[in-house]
Amino acid sequence: MKNSDINYIQADRQSKKTLLFLSQNEFKLDANIEHTIDVFCLQQGTTIKGRVEAIRKVLQIYQKVPIYIHEDLFLFPTTSSKSNDCVWMNYCNIRKLIIVNYYETIIIFKDKSLLSIVLNYRIIKKQMQRCKQYIKFLENQENICFIQNGKVIL
């Protein structure tokens, strides 16, 4: 399994363990979601705390912060990360969104698998926009740091 194959992650409601959903497979891990995402971050030489702090500063957001792990794995939460109902979607694998009604959206992944989720389309779109905005920040070759009053500023 490659991390880039992950479509979404959620907690098993009974055991609180992590469920990884890939195109044709589902894996249950003996760890909670935060620990699982932290392991993915550690594979890239950082921690979940460091990634969250960086994205908060760059995007100036404090709730439902997405977590950039690498170019093929960028997870965003559908609700508060503390909620048992939170699903962590891999932005990189989302192909299309379909509005079912005000409360429900169907997500089509690149591998053509589907997920029907009880969540307003606009919430998902906003989270995807945050991911896109952060990717543009990373791709910007003009990210120059300035020193002003003894502080480094992006």
DSSP letter (8 states) at residue 113: -
DSSP string, 92-111: GGEEEEEEEETTEEEEEETT
Question: Residue 96 is which amino acid?
Answer: K
> Is 0.85 topped by the overall pTM?
yes
What is the per-residue pLDDT across 32-90, written as a single tens digit (0 to 9) for each? 999 999 999 999 999 999 999 999 999 999 999 999 999 999 999 999 988 888 999 99
DSSP letter (8 states) at residue 3: G
Neighbour-count burial of 152, counting CB atoms closer than 10 A to its CB (0-12 exposed, 13-18 middle, 19+ buried): exposed
